[in-house]
């Protein structure tokens, strides 16, 4: 059990006299880690299923990775997501160091814009694939690809909505301890999605092209 005055999670600084509230925050953050790990299993097995479909049998004489992968787009998506991870980190730092709420909101807003840009590029990628007839109903391989990348995109979409909600909450409620704890968890979620993306660009895109 962590003592109230132990070093806190970054982004969370409730002060020494908030012992009870701090323990509560620790519990909630730990719970969120557990949730993320459960989600990681979901992603991991989607990866495993994709790998079992990414072969000649799974491609069913349909489009191959070389036909459909637009590496420039993927690289741009990767950089966008990575930069948004950084800006979110800065947002949590501004919150931890008790800077004015509007500074935090600005950095959160920047992360949101980058996340939306990522989604835009992902949508473009999906559209290009669909135009080439590379839709999930074409083959098992494409089903696997669309579902894996789509699962990630759905998570990023949820993350974007969550950022919007948190911006609204900071505006309405201020940097209340509960709001801080939520932003902290949102940060874990956002960084986690970037980690999953490492797997996607390494296995699906780069691995697919080899």
Q: What is the DSSP string of 37-56?
A: HHHHHHHHHHHHHHHHHSSH
Q: Which of 22, 68, 78, 185 binds other proteins (CB under 8 A)?
A: 78
Q: Smallest gap, in angstroms, from Cβ of residue 197 to other proteins?
A: 10
| Under rule CB under 8 A, residue 37 binds other proteins | yes
| Under rule CB under 8 A, residue 125 binds other proteins | no
Q: Which of 15, 42, 100, 102 binds other proteins (CB under 8 A)?
A: 42
Contact call for residues 204 and 68 (beta carbons, < 8 A): no
Chain residues 143-182 in contact with other proteins, contact rule CB under 8 A = 143-144, 146-147, 165, 169, 172-173, 176, 178, 182
Burial class for 152, CB neighbours closer than 10 Å (0-12, 13-18, 19+): buried
Nearer to other proteins, 28 or 119 (CB): 28
Q: Which of 40, 123, 127, 154 binds other proteins (CB under 8 A)?
A: 40
Q: What is the DSSP string of 93-153?
A: HHHHTT--HHHHHHHHHHHHHHHHHHHHHHHHHHHHHHHTT--TTT-HHHHHHHHHHHHHH
Q: Smallest gap, in angstroms, from Cβ of residue 84 to other proteins?
A: 11
Contacts of 143 (CB under 8 A, 6+ apart): 53, 136, 137
| Under rule CB under 8 A, residue 7 binds other proteins | yes
Q: Which of 5, 15, 19, 45 binds other proteins (CB under 8 A)?
A: 45
Chain residues 83-102 in contact with other proteins, contact rule CB under 8 A = 83, 85-86, 89-90, 93, 96-97
């Amino acid at each position: 059990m962590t003592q109230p005055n132990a070093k806190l999670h970054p982004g969370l600084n409730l002060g020494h006299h908030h012992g009870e509230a701090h323990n509560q925050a620790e519990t909630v953050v730990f719970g969120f880690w557990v949730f993320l790990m459960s989600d990681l299993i979901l992603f991991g097995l989607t990866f495993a299923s994709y790998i079992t479909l990414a072969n000649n049998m799974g491609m069913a004489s349909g489009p191959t990775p070389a036909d459909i992968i637009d590496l420039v787009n993927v690289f741009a998506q990767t950089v966008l997501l990575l930069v948004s991870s950084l800006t979110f980190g800065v947002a949590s730092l501004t919150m931890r160091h008790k800077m004015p709420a509007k500074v935090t909101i600005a950095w959160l807003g920047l992360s949101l814009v980058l996340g939306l840009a990522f989604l835009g590029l992902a949508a473009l990628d999906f559209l290009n694939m669909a135009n080439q007839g590379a839709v999930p109903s074409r083959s098992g391989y494409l089903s696997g690809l669309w579902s894996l990348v789509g699962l990630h995109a759905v998570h990023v979409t949820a993350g974007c909505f969550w950022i919007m909600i948190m911006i609204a909450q900071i505006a309405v409620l201020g940097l209340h301890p509960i709001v801080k704890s939520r932003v902290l968890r949102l940060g874990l979620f956002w960084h986690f999605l970037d980690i999953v993306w490492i797997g996607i660009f390494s296995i699906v895109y780069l691995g697919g092209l080899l």
